[in-house]
Chains A and B, each alone.
Chain A
């Protein structure tokens, strides 16, 4: 790839200690974020996408730990120990629910000023001017700086959270389902704002979402995760038009599409495996309509063809499988 990567995640392993044993929430995931690009991280809940993002920031839950792998940011390996100084200044975060990241007893303006002064070392007066600027940037009136979070609508809170994330001019923005809870028109407005800011400020972004359509609309690259691993990744246009992994094909079928002529949504039968168990072979095999005996015992290392990565043993037959996957009957269980 010609564009250098701002972030590289290599064979990341995240384990959670639970009462029923160790859950391998992320189990050997690798992907990279090219500089100035938006990468969409998709998958069902529990596939490890949020955990991966939290691991990049070094803020895992108490029972979680990095058991292996490397995260390289701007050429330097980072881990929980040395990420903290980078947060806000280099790596910023936009949560799903801005309400949980905004403190209800302070005005939104005070909270942005706080980030600018405490984290950025700015003087209060400069910080105030800058927060007005930031509000303007995300499309909020600077008069609203004096408002409390509860006086904001959902979309405005999300804009405020983006403004706060951008306060110290980070180079990488991590957004965890930033538009999931929003109505479709507001969602679109926020996505447009994100796209515009990303281009204007030349940000790199990781966008965690379960919504393929949002990835299609906003992102340059897509990383599809399943059961803690990356099963497919590549340029959005390429991956959505010509998915190579059966899981991506299934997700694509299961997803509502306003403009297609198909009148049926096809579910992927079954559910993701329990990550506390020892898993062998391809993790998607038990749900895969194209499964072969060998899939159950041997997982294949991902194959990359022209920047398009897929981890399927039958990758050579991808074109035929894709044609079969379009038929709803393929996904019906006997």
Chain B
């Protein structure tokens, strides 16, 4: 797949392995077991795009988000932001990157220092970026305006525990936006929030992205939510990409057997819905010792001999739609 000319983020063969405690036998045999959270992941994120990364817990999606923000370093492969490799960033260049790439957290109740007033929390990125104090109040007000928190004065001197979950997530968003970044990673930004609040935060995130021309990555386990946010979705399974394509295509015509199971498993708010058994076997295997060949093969109802010996590469099946499967399930 040819890289888009205007890619903001490029990943090439990115892997992240976390070492785990060794048993005595493994020490004797000189083995170094590791959780292979991410293995050989390559894709691009075009400037201004909204990309969803979807998968179950343990699929590596959160690790991927942390790698994109240089919070952890990859075991192998390279990640480039705006043409510059993240691994090489330090000093002023790293500071510049930190100003441009921000994170929205899953749990707004933990994302703000409980000892900081709301004003201090939102102004902290400005302080870290070395922006003159005289500008802080205006920039904070601007960020608050963007997240639709009216009557600013009501919030500034309060502490996080005095705010509701929805208000807190807006404050977290304001903190992420106060430096007017170009790139935003949101890790399950609404999964801890109440249903009636979720919709508001999601539409706010969409509005902000369009207004500020942000490039955004949403990490989520919920395909149903992602549909409202992102044009493109990457589906991950056990540290690898199994399918990548336009979100509506993936939701309506999933091509990979895993994506099919994922889509089929999502309940819909309608009493008349399919209750057919899921086309998937067993549960997620141990990430320390993933299956050979296709990692999904031992849960796949369509698996055959080749799946065990040959890792299926991502191949194009449609406009901007790739699938890692030996079969052509239409």
Contacts and interface: CB of A to CB of B under 8 A. Distances in A.
Interface of A: 44-45, 153-156, 183-189, 191-192, 195, 210-214, 216-217, 236-237, 240-241, 250-260, 263-269, 271
B262 A252 contact: no
A250 B261 contact: no
Contacts of B56: 183-186
A267 B203 contact: yes
Interface stretch (B63-71, B80-88, B95-103, B218-226): B218-226
Contacts, number: 119
Contacts of A241: 270-271
Given A183-B56, A188-B265, A267 B199 contact: yes
Contacts of B76: none
Contacts of B278: 185, 188-189
Contacts of B224: 213, 256-258
Interface string B209-233: 0000000000001111101100000
B91 interface: no
| Overall SS of chain A's interface | helix
A265 B267 contact: no
B263 interface: yes
Among B197, B199, B272, which residue has the most Cβ atoms of chain A within 10 A?
B199
Given A217-B273, A237-B272, A263-B228, A187 B195 contact: no
Contacts of A183: 56-57, 221
B269 A185 contact: no
A116 B93 CA distance: 64
26 contacts: A45-B194, A153-B284, A154-B57, A183-B57, A184-B56, A185-B261, A185-B265, A185-B280, A188-B264, A188-B267, A212-B269, A213-B266, A216-B267, A216-B270, A237-B271, A237-B272, A251-B196, A252-B269, A256-B225, A257-B268, A260-B268, A265-B199, A265-B202, A265-B228, A267-B198, A267-B200
| Overall SS of chain B's interface | loop
Contacts of A211: 195, 267
A212 B199 CA distance: 14
B25 interface: no
Contacts of B198: 254, 256, 265, 267
Contacts of A44: 194-196
A236 B271 contact: yes
B283 interface: yes
B275 interface: yes
Contacts of A214: 267
Contacts of A184: 56, 221-223, 262, 265-266
A216 B271 contact: yes
Interface of B: 56-57, 164, 166, 194-200, 202-203, 221-225, 227-228, 251, 261-273, 275, 277-278, 280, 283-284
Among B225, B265, B275, which residue has the most Cβ atoms of chain A within 10 A?
B265
A193 B223 CA distance: 23
A254 B272 CA distance: 19
A252 B284 CA distance: 32
A265 B222 CA distance: 14
Contact of A264 (B203, B223, B272, B275): B203
A257 B269 contact: yes
B268 A259 contact: yes
Contact of A213 (B196, B269, B283): B269
A251 B265 contact: no
B258 to A, nearest CB: 9
Contacts of B221: 183-184
Nearest to B266: A258
Nearest to A212: B269
Contacts of A156: 283
B269 A240 contact: yes
B147 to A, nearest CB: 14
A55 B251 CA distance: 41
A271 B164 contact: yes
A191 B271 contact: no
Contacts of B262: 184-185
Given A258-B251, A265-B202, A155 B283 contact: yes
A265 B224 CA distance: 11
Nearest to A255: B269
Nearest to A235: B271
The 3 closest A-B pairs by CB, nearest first: A265-B199, A267-B200, A237-B271
Nearest to A214: B267
Contacts of A186: 56, 283
Nearest to A237: B271
